[in-house]
Amino acid sequence: MDPSCIAKCPRLSNDLQLYAETGGMSAADDNRCDPGQGKESALAPAMSLVATLSQIKSNVKLQPKIYTIDNWVFKLHYKLTVILFLVSTLLVCSRQYIGEHIRCIADGGVPEHVMNTFCFFTTTFTVIKDLDEKLLDSGNLPHPGVGSYGLNSGEPIKRHAYYQWVPFVLFGQAIMFYLTHLLWKKLEGGRLRYLVEGLRFGAFALADKELQVRDNKIPSRSEKEDKIAQIRTAFLTRIYINRMWSVKLIFCEVLNLLHVILQVYITDAFLNGNFNNLGMEIMSDGLESNVDVLDEVFPKVTKCTFHKYGPSGSIQLHDAMCVMAINIINEKIYTCLWFWFIILFFCSLLNLIWRVMTIFLHSRSKKFNQFVFSNTCPGKLNPWNVLSVSKSCNYTDWLFLKYLAKNIDGMVFREIFIGLAEELDGKEPSKEALISSEEGTKYD
């Protein structure tokens, strides 16, 4: 470094020994004399974060599918939650945002890199009696939970071993949240996709021949009519759907709710019982205290003890104080997860309440059906048509029609719906006839 820089910045003279020990001037010190370089260094982590998130975006497709077999609550589980866990995993593994995950200060008896490695893959600890705000305010403690602890000390301590497993657990939880989607996709068997295939642009089927517009195919008028007739036939004769279709969907939705509870239990066990009340304590006690709940669960400074043999064969104790930079990220991640699990739980619960309501109202309330189906196609459906179809359907029929409406153009669905009402008025089939095929036919 230029000697004139040291002359202009007297504070750097106190850091020369640190420079010699670390083998180079830190970016923060160097930036005191070079404001331009300081700005570039300050922007480096932000640019790196943008690059990381861009990489996620390029590998995770968020475009809507041509067809959908679930609702927005289901998507919260296997899309938004999975992305949240994957981003958290990347943040924990990326050193460019927080520097080294752990840096320990010890005497010269153990090399620094050895102490850092040892304290990271073993457990660090805090002394419970030193998690005292009064001692910290009086200046008798350097950091929360960091106090004297000798070789034969009987003081109770709290060990912290979770930090080395955080990325693995977060990634495993991301996979678990995707499993219910894979299960429902397997149970659904592609029935909806088979029936709606080719009707995505059915409202534009006005020509006698099929049209190609870029990568999209607009079916001909006759192809659209044949496909609509096929859907009506499948609905009336129970070829592709059966009573168990709705049961399997409801089972997966219940599984989503239970899975949120399971994830709360797993996270609480992983954090040694400190997760369940984390958000409540943050809201009640705040974070203005010198010793708050985050300092207890995610300490920024901990202690670590290294034992080795001395020259005479006796055991020597080397006490170290470790700066846990990784916990700056961990505390934000798990605080967000606590609130997100609460939101996800209540959304899943409300979804099941809505599902129970639809089971009881689908064949009893004309206004309820008008509300549900009027939002799926242009204009208002004839109430008599709604009544005719809903009274002739069991719940699986009704639910399948609802998802059919979500996957095809509103004009096409209106045509299918009114056609079903006319056929049902003419034949008046019984519910037993509608569900005569218990297992249906699976399309692969």
pLDDT in tens, 104-115: 888 777 888 888
pLDDT in tens, 7-65: 444 444 444 343 344 444 444 444 444 444 444 554 555 555 556 556 555 555 544 45
State yes or no: pLDDT of 322 exceeds 70: yes
160 within 8 A of 125, measured Cβ to Cβ: yes
For Cα atoms 391, 395, 397, give the angle at the middle one, nearest 5 degrees: 80
395 within 8 A of 425, measured Cβ to Cβ: no
Decide which of 405 and 62 is more confident.
Answer: 405
Mean pLDDT over residues 247-267, rounded?
95
State yes or no: pLDDT of 337 exceeds 80: yes
Q: pLDDT exceeding 70 applies to what percent of the chain?
A: 64
pLDDT in tens, 92-104: 887 656 667 888 8
Mean pLDDT over residues 271-300, rounded?
83
* pLDDT bucket at 251, cuts 50 / 70 / 90: very high
* Cβ-based neighbours of 312, under 8 Å, separated by 6 or more: none
Separation of alpha carbons 7 and 47, rounded Å: 33
Mean pLDDT over residues 290-313, rounded?
81
Instruction: Tell me what pLDDT residue 297 has.
Output: 85
Q: 307: closest CA among 321, 319, 291?
A: 319
* pLDDT bucket at 82, cuts 50 / 70 / 90: very high
Separation of alpha carbons 168 and 174, rounded Å: 10
Decide which of 202 and 292 is more confident.
Answer: 292
State yes or no: pLDDT of 434 exceeds 60: no
Q: Does pTM top 0.75 for this prediction?
A: no
State yes or no: pLDDT of 252 exceeds 90: yes
pLDDT in tens, 340-387: 999 999 999 999 999 999 888 877 777 777 777 766 655 555 555 666
Mean pLDDT over residues 252-262, rounded?
96
Decide which of 411 and 89 is more confident.
Answer: 89
Structure-token match 């991640």, residue found: 333
408 within 8 A of 217, measured Cβ to Cβ: no
Mean pLDDT over residues 392-397, rounded?
78
List Cβ<8 Å contacts ≥24 apart for 230-236. 230/195, 231/195, 231/196, 231/404, 231/416, 232/416, 232/419, 232/420, 232/423, 234/195, 235/397, 235/400, 235/401, 235/420, 236/420, 236/423, 236/429, 236/434
Q: pLDDT exceeding 90 applies to what percent of the chain?
A: 20
Q: Which of 149-163, 203-217, 304-318 has the lowest mean pLDDT?
A: 203-217
